[in-house]
Structures are given as C-alpha cells and as structure tokens.
Structure 1
Amino acid sequence: MAIEELAAVPLGLLFLLSGLIVNVIQAACYVTIRPFSKSMYRMVNIKVVELLWYQIVWLFDWWAGMHVELFADFETLQSMGKEHALIMSNHRSDIDWLVGWVFAQRSGCLGSSLAIMKNSSKFLPVVGWSMWFTEFLFIERSWDKDEKKLKLGLQQLKDFPQPFWLALFAEGTRFTHTKLLAAQKYAALQGLPIPRNVLIPRTKGFVSTINNIRSFVPAIYDVIVAIPKTSSSPTMLRILKGESSVVHVHIKRHSMEELPQTDEGLALWCKDLFVAKDALLDGYLAEGTFGTKAPIPIGRPIISLLVVMSWSCLLTSAAFRFFEWSTLLSTWNGILCSSFCVLLVAVIMHIFVLFSQSDRSTAATVASTRVKDD
C-alpha cells in the first residue's frame, strides 16, 4: 500500500462516512417510497446520490484542479442535459467515467447519470451500493447471462422522470498498449481496419442496447477523451495526490434516427464510429487539437465545494461530540479500535485505486472474450 494512499485517508473517511449516510437514506427510500411510486423514488434518489457524486466531482475540480477543454458544435451544446442520451466514449484512461460525471454535472444530469458496468462494481463499498440504488446496469460480460438482464434493465428506463445519460464503453475494457496489440492482431485476422488509438468495439451489447432504447432515447453522444502530449496521464491515484492534468473532450451528437434498422447495420455503424474516432485521434495527436473547433472551457462550479464543506462540518462536529461522549480515545481498547477503523479506510481506498487501474485485465483475456462476444 503506497504512502500516498495513506495520505488520502482523511478524504476516504469523509467520503465513506458521508457515503454510508447516503446509502442508508437510499435504502430507506427504496423500502418506503419505491413500492408506492417508482417515479417519486427516482426523483428523491437523484438528489440524494448527488450528495455523494459531488464529492467525486470536487476531487476532480478543486482538489486536483483538473483543467478540461470541450470541443463540440452548437447543436450538441444546446442538447446536452435536455434529453435522454446514450454516451459512447473511448475508454482511454482510468478516469473516463469521472470525466463523464463532470460533464453530467455541468449539464444537470449528475444524479441521473447511469452506466452499463461489470457486475463486480456493485459490490464496491458505498460507490457500488449507490450505483445499485440508482439503477446502473450490471452485466457479467457473458452474453448468455447478460442478454435478458440488459434488456430488462434498459426497458425499466423508459419511464425515467428526467433526462438521463447512459454510458456504454463498447470497447469492453480500458485501453492499454498491450490490449491494442491484441486488438490489432484480431483485426488483421478478421480483415478489419487496424486500430491505432482505440480498441475494436464489441457490437452485441451495442445492438441490443439500441434495439431496447431506440423508442425513448433520441440521441447518441459520441465522446472522445484525449490527453495532450504535454500533460501527464491522469489516474485516480494522481488525483487523490492532488496532481493536476489537462483533459480534452470532443463530443458529437448523433440523432437516433440516423441509425440503421437492422442488427447487421447497427453493428457496422458501431464499428464505423470507432474507425472515425481513431481517425480523429490521429489528427489530434498530430495537431494537439480536434480540427478547427475552438476549445470551450467548462468552468469550475462552486456547488461541489459547498457540498464537501458541508459534509466536513457536519461529520467533524458529529465526530467531536461522539468522542467527547464515548471517551473512546481515553482507553487502549478505544485507541486500537479507532486505529483499526483508519486502517480499514486505507484498505478500502487501496481497493478503489486498484479497481480504477487500466492494467487489471490482460490482453489474453481481452483476446479470448473477443472471439466469444463477436
């Protein structure tokens, strides 16, 4: 366990304690409100879970001071936050999901931002539990198991009470050089365009998703996350250490009406989308920008800072009163118990960091599952 992760223990205590409070509120609402009104439950949960997600946005905006520039056309800017949308992003870095939350917050969709994620994610303390209450879709990465589960979960979103963003990482795993080599080998064997900056998308999940949401989701947002050559690649650990970086994001809106009607056409459209992403990234790596579009700064709203300050004041006051009442730190047993709790927080933070790292799945795994999924 790195010393930097131990330094993040105070942040971890704040996040985990406030997160447990959020989880308890979510559970209470799930039991008392959802059986009578799913729409009311969703509206309440959106506001409740934002109290947790704002802390992660604060890490990005204020603690690490990340600098984000957006490249988008006028139509895309005007639509963001005003409609349901499927988010199709490359999976370049460890914090692509966090960049998505930052843009969702700017667009007013933070509490209604959803994702299709691997099943193990829902077991993460606090974060995974909140995702489950918020109706994230969890899959096994085995189509025989996932097909019905994905269809049911997507159809449940038809009556969602406010605009949501649903993120789908069609590449199925985070980009690394080793995985790129495996993807290039697969492309050569299959006669596909050889990727240079992205992996080959898995189309079964995309096709099923479109078939199930086409009637009520009007748009797909094609998102490209890129890191300038002059900036260090951001990771969750670096953000926890307060290290800043620069992130460039290109977003292009596609109307759902543009998409083909057949499964074969949808699969080809998805592959073509990633070929286009690859070409745009070629130009970006050569020029350091996305075409002639001028970058748009997205600002740094103060609301996440206010939420963190409020949680800090509340929990510090509660902790002070608790230790004063319990005299926990006046005995060796109390000191040992408190030390164990701090160690537990450090371990959980370590798990979070490991979970976010790009190299957790191997190229061999990617290559073998590619044949099964496509």
Structure 2
Amino acid sequence: MAIAASVVIVPIGVLFLVSGLIVNLLQSLFRRINRKVAELLWLELIWIVDWWSGVKIKLYTDPETLNMMVISNHKSDIDWLLGWVFAQRSGCLGSTLAVMKKSSKFLPVIGWSMWFSEFLFLERKWAKDESTLKAGLRRLKDYPQPFLMALYVEGTRFTNAKLLAAQEYASSTGLPVPRNVLIPRTKGFVTSVREMRSFAPAIMDMTVAIPKDSTPTMLRLFKGQSSVVRLFHRYVFFFFTM
C-alpha cells in the first residue's frame, strides 16, 4: 500500500516542484523581455520631449542604480514623461514603475504598456486599494533588475484651487503652509514603505519645478514648443536607518 501511494505521490510532488521552478523562470524571462520592449516604446516618447519639442530638463542629483521608491509632486500632465526621462538617464527606464489611477491603464498603447510593465493601478478607494497596493509591491521583491517605483504622494495634480484648499487645511491643523506643493497623503506612502523596506533600500524625494508662463503639456510637446523643467532630488533615506 505504501509503495502504491508513493508511486502516485512522488511524481505529483516532483511535478509541483518542477512546475514551480518553470513558472518562476518564465516570469523572470518575461520581465526581462518586457523591459526591453517597453524601453523601445518609451524611448520614442522621450525623443518627443528631448528632441522634437526641445524641453530642457535639468537634473539636480547624481542618479543611483538601485531599487528605490521615488516620491514626487504632481505639477503637469507630462510628469510621467519627466519621470521616464530621469529613469532613462539613470539607466533603468524599462524597469520603471509607478502607482497610477486605474483609468490610466485603458489609454491606448501607453496604458497597456504600463499594465504589462506591472504598474499599480488604484481606484482612490482605500478599502479596495490597500490590498491591491500591498500585493503589487510584494511581487517586486524578486524583480530581476534595479527598479524605480514612483509615488505621487499628493494624490492629485496641482492647481491653484487645490493649493488654496491645501493652505486652508494646513492653517487649520497647524501644519506648515505650502506655497508651491500640496499636502501629501500619507496612508499610501506609509504602506509602501512597510512593504518595500526589505528589498528597496532608498527613498528619493523628487520635486518638479516648472515655469508658470510655459507649463509643459502634451499639446505643447506635439507643437514643438520648448520649456524648462528642473528636477530636484533633495534627499535619499535608507530604510535601515528609519
């Protein structure tokens, strides 16, 4: 009886072991291939920024190549493109990820490429988003290349009306009153730090500064209208010191 059972159980056990190894190997291979494909696509958009429109992007940092969370303000509708320019200059464009609103993944071609590249898409409802965020970040633990995970901690794009609301909130709660950024939302940030601290050793604090008279937009890019954008990377925090 024991021999008969072992004849059935042992092959099944071996099958589970082998299939587990194959799945992991294929996942790693998929990620490596997908990185190259995504990079080719995204380089075309970077060409529009750098060459077609002649947007001058000035980096105030020394790019590092390691797993990192990048927190940033959200000033324009091309902030995601500015992030790709920074990632390209850092040598990890194809393995750049971000937390985005769910509707973004339905954008033709660009949104699809984000979805295949393991971007995280949230509904802005924490009851649903918490589990999505945690599961998505945990999947990055075995990511085969150095990656950047971008998180727009303000949760929305900057407008004068939103700035006024942020200033009123800051005054009523005793927080420093912002002049050029919004009040960050901490719930998603704290959750991300807790999930990533074991495999992403640093946080980069990026501030996007753009001129008010020539704010870069997708329309301006396609018209070939230039602008100047400054990316300030002010701090790097290592998780083991937090």
How would you bin the TM-score normalised by the shorter chain? 0.7 to 0.9
Counterpart check, 1:179 vs 2:168: no
| CA distance in 1: counterparts of 2:193 and 2:179, whole angstroms | 26
Residue 94 of structure 1: CA displacement? 2.0
SS of residue matched to 2:121: strand
- Verify the 8 A CA contact 1:34 1:41 in the aligned structure 2: no
* Deviation sequence 1:84-113 (CA, Å, 0-9, x none): 010111112222211110010111111101
Q: How does 1:190-269 map to 2 (within 5 A)?
A: 190-228=173-211, 232-252=214-234, 253-259=236-242
Runs of 4+ in 1 over 6 A off after TM superposition: none
The AA in structure 1 aligned to 2:33 is V
Task: Please state whether the residue corresponding to 2:166 is helix, strand or coil.
Answer: helix
**Which residue of 116, 136, 145 corresponds with 2:128?**
145
SS in 1 for 2:194: helix
Question: Which residue in the other structure is 1:65 paired with?
Answer: 54
Q: Distance in 2 between matches of 1:34 and 1:117?
A: 27
Question: 1: CA distance between counterparts of 2:138 and 2:58?
Answer: 34
Measured after TM superposition, the shift of residue 34 of structure 1 is 6.6
In 1, distance between residues paired with 2:239 and 2:76?
Answer: 27
Aligned 8 A contact 1:228 1:248 in 2? no
Which structure shows the higher strand fraction? 2
**What is the alpha-carbon distance in structure 2 between the residues aligned to residue 35 and residue 139 of structure 1?**
26
What TM-score, normalized by structure 1, do the two folds share? 0.57
Mapping of residues 47-62 of structure 1, within 5 Å: 47-62=36-51
Distance in 1 between the 2:24 and 2:144 partners?
Answer: 16
2:10 corresponds to: none
CA distance in structure 2 between the partners assigned to 1:211 and 1:179 by the alignment:
29
- Amino acid aligned to 1:112: S
Task: Work out the CA distance in 2 between the residues paired with 1:257 and 1:223.
Answer: 20
The unaligned stretches of length 5 or more in structure 1 are 1-32, 260-374
Indicate the structure with greater helix content: 1
1:92 aligns with 2:51: no
Corresponding residue to 1:122 among 105, 108, 116: 105
Displacement, 1:40?
Answer: 0.7
- 8 Å CA contact retained: 1:42, 1:161: yes
Distance 1:119 1:191 in 2: 33
- Per-residue Cα deviation, 1:118-148 (whole angstroms, up to 9, x for no partner): 1111111111111111100011111100111
Give the aligned length: 220
Mapping for residues 156-171 of structure 1, pairs under 5 Å: 156-171=139-154
1:189 matched residue in structure 2? 172
Letter in 2 for 1:235: T
> Secondary structure at 2:93's aligned position in 1?
coil
In 2: Cα distance, 1:214 partner to 1:35 partner:
23
CA deviations 1:21-79 (Å, max 9, x no partner) are xxxxxxxxxxxx9786111100000001112101110110111011122222xxxx2x5
CA contact (8 A) 1:59 1:240 kept: yes
Partner amino acid for 1:242?
G
For residues 49 and 34 of structure 1, the distance between their equivalents in structure 2, rounded to whole angstroms, comes to 22
Q: CA deviation at 1:190?
A: 2.1
TM-score by length of 2: 0.87
Query: What amino acid is the match of 2:46?
Result: V
Q: Unpaired runs of 5+ in structure 2? A: 1-21
Amino acid at match of 1:148: S
